[in-house]
Amino acid sequence: MSVRVRLAPSPTGNLHIGTARTAVFNWLFARNQGGTFVLRVEDTDLERSRPEYTENILAGLTWLGLTWDEGPFYQSDRLELYGQNIKTLLEKGLAYRCYCTPEELDAMREAQKARNEAPRYDNRHRHLTPEQQAEFEAEGRQAVIRFRIEDDREISWTDLVRGKVTWKGSDLGGDMVIARASGEGKIGQPLYNFVVVVDDINMKITQVIRGEDHISNTPKQILLYEALNAAIPEFGHTPLILNAEGRKLSKRDGVTSISDFKTMGYTPEALANYMTLLGWTPPDATQELFTLEEAAKHFSFDRVNKAGAKFDWDKLNWINSQYLHKLPIPELMTSLIPYWQEAGYEFDPNSDGAWLEQLTALIGPSLTTLKDGVEMSRLFFTPTVELDTEAKTQLQQEGAIAIVQAIQDKITQQRDQPLTSDAAKAMINSAMKETNVKKGLVMRSLRAALMGTMHGPDLIESWLLFHQKGIDLIRFQTVLQG
């Protein structure tokens, strides 16, 4: 049988890194097996689902390179299918209408709590007579649809990640609600555990790969597969992504959505690479950099860990830096341009193309994220600069101002000639002789005047960039005017 897997995100928020990592594992398995990767949007939560979240999810998967083979399919378009399957269960006597009020359910739970029992539905409306149902209907009560779960059932499956897993029916909380309350004998909005099974049957899903937080849903869903006379897929429950304290990564930990990672300047290749390592160990454990296509050749569930995967910012940053450092300069420049534009820097990507490439080549080796390029290049997009304390102290050294004056004079004298690296070095040597100072003082004074700080990228290359925009003369004049 051909492998068919699916990603089924809920559009109640932006694409979360946990969902994205699940997408990665599904995609890798499908590609490894020559199978099909299906995208299904589970939007039956009408109150919380939003079109903008759907757009964010689709955009995030596309950005990561996780292309799907079928879909996206939307559960909101399939309500009739769910209703037909619920009717089938009702007709078989495997589901029934429950008329309990919220107050009655609350009282039931409080009584159980008082007896130190785990809260569960006590199946009190499982065997209502037609007359009792009619009486509840006459009272105007609305009914949920519940699926029968026998306490003495034992449900087992061989998990792709965890091996044999077994649950008792008595631990599943009583008969399960599969459709929300509705009156007049109608069927209300179907709920997650039911619709996901109907969809997986309808889409012929062969392996359900998802996070371990879904393990408790699996025994309930297996019972539904049996009730609908359908083949039961294999299940694989992958480890959760944990924060530094070992708890499930959440919004409280800061950045968790894929769009946030993009805004921070991570590349899709690096992020996908890192997510692959969150719970999976490649055959060559020393290999840490690879494309999704390369990982797919070796992906298998026997190398997926059972333990939670701690999110390591240092590891992600290192991987991202490696991808950035390997990018050809024109590609890196193209990636940096949106961040420079977002920062409000003024330039023309076309006419300033050569200058921008030189700037990219200068800062590229120091980048960890693309957004780092904003701060690193700020000096090159502003004519004036504020001197920090260290730079001011440097320019107060004896001979420093004379050096700046001498270099400014030489630039003015050679205004009609392009400033090259050799020409800049010649000016520095000439200034040394004229002012009779050591080269170190010249270089430090030049850096202080040009950059306003004693730290930064290569001085000569930076000077060439400043000079092309006339920024060097502006800054020298500012220093000389005190």
| 413: CB partners within 8 A, 6+ apart | none
Of 87, 251, 297, 439, the catalytic one is 251
Phi, psi of 337, deg, nearest 5: -55, -45
- Residue 29, classed as helix, strand or coil, is helix
Active site residue 92: no
Residues 82, 195 contacting (CB under 8 angstroms): yes
251 in a known ligand binding site: yes
113 in a known ligand binding site: no
125 in a known ligand binding site: yes
Give Rg (Cα) of the chain: 32
What is the H or E stretch that residue 84 is in? helix 79-92
| 67: CB partners within 8 A, 6+ apart | 37, 61
100 in a known ligand binding site: yes
- Pick the closest to residue 478 from 381, 380, 384, 378 (CA basis): 384
Distance CA 258, CA 278 (A): 15
412 burial level (CB within 10 Å; 0-12, 13-18, 19+): exposed
16 in a known ligand binding site: no
Other beta carbons less than 10 A from residue 225's beta carbon: 16
- Pick the closest to residue 397 from 448, 355, 354, 357 (CA basis): 448
Active site residues: 251
Binding residues for ATP: 251
Binding residues: 98, 100, 125, 127, 251
Binding residues for Zn(2+) are: 98, 100, 125, 127
